């Protein structure tokens, strides 16, 4: 593998992917909105690891944004061996009281941009008979999540979509992997506007752990990875043993905003 493209690479899990891949001598293409942060990271990776680091600043909620990213990659003569669709955000609160624009932008980033980039790069990879695509979902994709209803819906989509593509492409030479992290230290909870007092009640993992587990799972050609150990495995398996309304009522109590 020579070159990886990572969306949402300016901070958090995406930046951790960029650092780990660069340390393995893989060139990186960094995509996010914050040009300054991307340039700083790219410069650091070039000097620290002697790799090529390209920056494509782009707001992936904008129409045509994914095609612009694909065209920029082609114009620079790059071949993407690994695509990591990591950019995403959530939103906390009662659905009807939250801004509609934020919900729609979330669907555009977490679903539409991910589907478009997957289609654009998968088509190329299949022609070459090689490549890999990692889509970042969440353990929130395994059950409905009151007060994060749209977010959980987007992640359920990413989980189902990617597992289906994994099976479709088993003999194509292209690997697909969907990764479902649990709570992970990053800017995610600030961007989602969770109150500072909110606690998911579980231990947070680091972005670096998510990255390490992902790259191991990719080597083994798993379809799906739930990161974060036993607690997260327990959570994602609960819906197999209880009625759906029992699960969603329990989660509603846990996530209900405190007065």
Residues serving a catalytic function are 151
The residue (of 192 and 250) whose beta carbon lies closer to ligand NAP is 192
Distances in Å between the alpha carbon of 6 and those of 128, 229, 230?
A: 20, 25, 28
Nearest approach, Cβ of 204 to ligand NAP (angstroms)?
7
Of 58, 115, 61, nearest in space to 85 by CA: 115
Closer by beta carbon to ligand NAP, 3 or else 105:
105
State the minimum distance, in angstroms, from the CB of residue 179 to ligand NAP: 8
Structure tokens at 16: 């951790």
DSSP strands (E only) in 24-130? 27-32, 53-57, 82-85
If you ran DSSP here, which 8-state letter would residue 142 be given?
G
Burial of 125 (0-12, 13-18, 19+ CB in 10 A): buried
Minimum gap (Å) between residue 91 Cβ and ligand NAP: 11
The secondary structure of residue 99, as a DSSP letter, is -
Least distance to ligand NAP from the beta carbon of 132, Å?
A: 17
Query: For residues 3 and 135, which CB has a smaller minimum distance to ligand NAP in the complex?
Result: 135
Q: Which is nearer to ligand NAP, 10 or 143 (CB)?
A: 10
Pick the closer one to ligand NAP by CB: 3 or 86: 86
Annotate 212-241 with DSSP letters as a single string: HHHHHHHHTT-SEEE-SSHHHHHHHHGGGT
Q: Name the minimum Å distance from CB 17 to ligand NAP.
A: 9
* Measured distance CA(192)–CA(175) in Å, rounded: 31
Q: Which residues bind ligand NAP (CB under 6 A)?
A: 8-14, 32-34, 37, 59-61, 86-89, 109, 136, 138, 181, 183-184, 186-188, 191
Q: What is the dihedral of CA 107, 112, 114, 115, to 10 degrees?
A: 140
């Amino acid at each position: 593998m020579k070159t990886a493209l990572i969306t949402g690479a300016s901070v958090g899990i995406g930046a951790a992917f960029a650092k780990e891949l660069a340390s393995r001598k893989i060139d990186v293409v960094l995509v996010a909105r914050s040009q300054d942060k991307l340039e700083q990271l790219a410069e650091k990776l070039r000097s620290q690891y002697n790799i090529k680091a390209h920056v494509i600043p782009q707001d992936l909620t904008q129409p045509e944004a994914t095609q612009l990213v694909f065209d920029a990659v082609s114009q620079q003569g790059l071949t993407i061996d690994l695509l990591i669709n990591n950019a995403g955000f959530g939103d906390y609160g009662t659905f009807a009281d939250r801004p509609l624009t934020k919900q729609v932008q979330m669907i555009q980033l977490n679903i539409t941009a991910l589907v478009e980039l997957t289609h654009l790069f998968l088509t190329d990879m299949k022609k070459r008979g090689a490549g890999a695509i990692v889509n970042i979902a969440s353990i929130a994709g395994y059950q409905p999540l009151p007060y994060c209803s749209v977010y959980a819906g987007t992640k359920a989509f990413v989980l189902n979509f990617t597992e289906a593509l994994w099976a479709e492409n088993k003999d194509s030479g292209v690997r697909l992997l969907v990764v479902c992290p649990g709570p992970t230290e990053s800017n995610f909870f600030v961007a989602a506007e969770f109150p500072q007092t909110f606690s998911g009640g579980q231990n947070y993992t680091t972005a670096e752990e998510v990255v390490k587990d992902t790259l191991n799972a990719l080597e083994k050609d798993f379809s799906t990875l739930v990161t974060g150990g036993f607690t997260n495995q327990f959570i994602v398996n609960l819906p197999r043993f209880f009625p759906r309304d029992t699960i969603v009522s329990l989660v509603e109590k846990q996530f209900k905003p405190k007065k």
